[in-house]
Structure 1
Amino acid sequence: MTVDTDVEEVGVSSLDDMDEASFTAAAERHRRELHVHCYRMLGSFQDAEDAVQETFLKAWRARGTYEGRSTFRAWLYRIATNACLDLLATRRPEPATGGEVRWLQPYPDSLLDELPAADADEPEALAMARETIELAYVVAVQHLAPRPRAVLVLRDVLGWPAKDVADLLGDSVNSVNSALQRARAGMREHLPAERQEWTGADTDVENRELVRRFTDASVAADLDAIAAMMRDDVRYSMPPWEGLVVGRDAVVADWTANGYPGMTGLRAVPTAVNRQPAVAYYLWREQEAAYVALTLDVLRISDGTVTEVTIFDADRFASLGLPERLAADGAGQ
């Protein structure tokens, strides 16, 4: 057996020689990238947590089967991919439909920063790492059947050879190539038009200024100002609630019907998830003498306009490292 670097660094010759603590230490160094892989497959931060835990448990139990024909890292990816496919078969028996993903959850940039850095000399790799974690990409992936989904992520995101993907899935190379073609066609159907060629995001300076103005207008509940920053075909959703609203007029009508205009007592905290700008909003509660977590708004920006708003409930604040409340002076509690 070829000894993997992860195995060598704990001073043993094979996985069988590892105690549980040493094995866990070797596996843990890959936790974040495995978690992001599972998140792309599942669309849910919590489901990805469950898949990674299942991966480590299965890997420990199956350590005697590791023969060193691939790296320890690749072996873990194999187990993680199968764990995701098992979860999809039980929790998500049908792919998403209609452009929305009710189980979608955000992924904090602070955790994405733990991933191994992409090579700065490879701008295409940097763009791929950024754009394949955006909510639009994750949502599109959820519309694919499980096995084509796995093929797409392994081939296009991770860059695995078709033969390795075929070995993992127990398929032929021809079947994998066919599944990849179907998956790419499905992605083109569900990705926003300006994201299909993965040309990159607007400049950070342009984004920051637009987000600042959007945030100020949101705190003021100035729906006219907000609408002026939205593209005609803006999309709005609020997982896990059902419904995808498309079009500026439809979004304005929806927010008006839900009593947003005239709302007072808002405070905003800028943040970032899925490599996208986001704003955490808090609402003043007199009886608690504090600003209480309300929503997290995630923005997609293209060509200087807001093209998508995805709003998550306050129950995601803890996983994002956001305080549950702010004191009157703005300090987190």
Structure 2
Amino acid sequence: MESSRADLISRARAGDDDAFQALTEPHRRELQVHCYRMLGSFQDAEDALQDTVVAAWRGLSGFDGRASLRTWLYRIATNRCLSTLRSAARRPATAWDIPGVEPPEPTRLGEVVWLEPYPDTLLDGAIQVPLGPEARYEQTESISLAFVTALQALPPRQLAVLILRDVLGFPASEVAGMLDTTLDSVKSALKRARATLQRNQPPSAGHEPPPATASPTENAIVAGFVHAWETADVDALVALLTDDVFMSMPPLPLEYQGRDVVGRFCGAIFDAGRRFALVPTRANGQPAFGAYLIAPNGVRHGTGLYVVTLAGDRISAMTRFENSMLSPFGLPRSLPPQA
């Protein structure tokens, strides 16, 4: 195994693209998920992954083998993400722009407005990765929208340290090497990051765990949500929600918490005469739906993507994303009239 790896490295250094692909391809999916956790954006993660692969190709001559190839690739990816976080302006918040609909007063204005969902179809083989013994999070938990959102509130260095240590379980000494810093600095950053996450627990903290994927309970909630949304039945929708249900709409900063206010928000949408068709998919390990507005001629135009967080047999959170997120999920921008 080691001799074949050494041969691939030697050939790749000599310019053999096939050898380089054989070395890096097994790690691409997990690196993309790592970049997604760091950046909270599917598109930014795609860009960071491409930058990582290019940097690895160009810098392979500097790989000395003291760390594993996987660790070396994570070092490159992490530093590419840190550069993105520190330099480029993140996507700004947008203003409410649905004509004829006046939303209720929000519970608060959110600070994390650049969040994007991650398609479950790309998670295969990406979260079943070898973890160090000090990893503190289940891989499915660490890709949830609530967790990824909470990560985005951390300063960049603390964010990187927490993901590398608590999500992936890299030893502190390796993390120090990846970030060109000291062991004490890593320990200090991790302590502060953990404290910040603890203070910023998501609204769903303490809820019942979600039902198993594709279980009868999950299927019943999904069917109930689709029926309520497509028939504009606010009462049926509200009956599915937890008392403290949380709704957000990045990049809109409006956030709503509580069954009554979320019900009023959805009622304002339905009262305006807007009717929708939903197409099920999955994002971040959670049920998701492409939302299509039905035009007078029956054509259904994509307006966004909803991701729902489940707790027991209820919905504890709804997150609505822009229609630009339909494409990464393989969903069309429009659908023909139903027969």
What is the TM-score normalised by the length of structure 2? 0.85
Using the alignment, how far apart are the partners of 1:148 and 1:125 within structure 2?
16
Is 1:52 aligned with 2:53? no
Q: Indicate the larger mover: 138-147 or 245-254.
A: 245-254
Q: Cα deviations across residues 260-307 of structure 1 (Å, max 9, x unaligned)?
A: 2364542221111000011222122244x5222122111011132211
Is 1:320 aligned with 2:329? yes
Percent identity, aligned pairs only?
Answer: 41
Using the alignment, how far apart are the partners of 2:3 and 2:55 within structure 1?
19
Q: Cα deviations across residues 170-220 of structure 1 (Å, max 9, x unaligned)?
A: 2221221121111111112223265479x8533333222112111110111
Using the alignment, how far apart are the partners of 1:173 and 1:104 within structure 2?
31
Report the CA distance between 1:224 and its aligned residue: 1.5
Q: Superposed, which structure 2 residues align to 1:1-333 within 5 Å? A: 6-8=5-7, 10=8, 13=10, 15-91=12-88, 100-115=111-126, 117=128, 128-192=138-202, 195=205, 200-203=209-212, 204-257=215-268, 259-261=269-271, 263=273, 265-287=275-297, 289-329=298-338
Higher relative contact order (CA closer than 8 Å, sequence separation 6+): 2
Contact 2:309 2:318 in 1 (8 A): yes
- Distance verdict in 2 for CA 1:147–1:67, change over 3 Å: same
Report the CA distance between 1:17 and its aligned residue: 2.8
- Distance verdict in 2 for CA 1:236–1:265, change over 3 Å: closer
Using the alignment, how far apart are the partners of 2:42 and 2:271 within structure 1?
32
Q: Which runs of 5+ in 1 are unaligned?
A: none
Q: Cα deviations across residues 93-135 of structure 1 (Å, max 9, x unaligned)?
A: 89x996542111111101112426368xxxx989711110000
Using the alignment, how far apart are the partners of 1:327 and 1:126 within structure 2?
47
Which stretches of structure 1, 4 residues or more, deviate above 3 A after TM superposition?
2-8, 12-15, 96-100, 116-119, 124-127, 193-197, 261-265
What is the TM-score normalised by the length of structure 1? 0.86
Q: Cα deviations across residues 118-170 of structure 1 (Å, max 9, x unaligned)?
A: 68xxxx98971111000000000000000010010000111100000111112
3-state SS of the aligned residue for 1:128? coil
Using the alignment, how far apart are the partners of 1:275 and 1:159 within structure 2?
21
RMSD between aligned residues: 2.9
- Distance verdict in 2 for CA 1:108–1:70, change over 3 Å: same
Q: Which runs of 5+ in 2 are unaligned?
A: 94-107
Using the alignment, how far apart are the partners of 1:56 and 1:319 within structure 2?
20
Using the alignment, how far apart are the partners of 1:49 and 1:5 within structure 2?
29
Using the alignment, how far apart are the partners of 1:270 and 1:17 within structure 2?
47
Query: Which letter does structure 1 place at the counterpart of 2:25?
Result: E
